[in-house]
Amino acid sequence: MKCLTEHAAEEKYVLIRTYDQHGLFTLFIAKKTVQTRISSIETCSLNFPYSDSGSKGASIVRFCFDDTSFVFSNCHLDGGDTESNAKTRHGQLLQVQEGAFKQERGTQYQQYDVENHTVKVFFGDLNFCLFPDESLSAKDQASPSGIDKVALN
């Protein structure tokens, strides 16, 4: 936080929330001028019980900024380059999507469901490797259909 305030002297930032789980540290800061526009801040964590090591999981924060809802999922997924490993990672991402804020999601808290947020961001150590398709040009690989082809190889 000291580094941020030293390098952004003209802008004042405030710490909104920190969350540390599974070795994933999430720092949520905002410009002081927009702090009052942030509401409904919640955090949760998920463990992946059948992962290849005990330290896999996700640290998740959700909030509203004005009328827009955001969810940020900081994930540490299983590694490996086999098809089975890739399926495990996909399953772990589904666990985050379906399991985040599950305890908080009673009938009156449906907004806590990841799918019900306007903006959804997954980041962290996802352990995905992209293997370019040599038959596609760089421009085609960057297109949405090209990215799907690269990701599936």
The tens digit of pLDDT for each residue in 60-90 reads: 899 999 999 999 999 888 888 788 888 888 8
Contact by Cβ (8 Å): 13, 29:
yes
pLDDT value of residue 63: 92
pLDDT value of residue 147: 46
CATH architecture of 39-152: 4-Layer Sandwich (3.60)
Q: Which residues of the chain have pLDDT under 70?
A: 1-10, 22, 50-54, 103-112, 129-153
Helix (H) or strand (E) holding 95: helix 83-99
- List, in sequence order, every residue forming a beta bridge with 15; answer none if it has no partner: 29
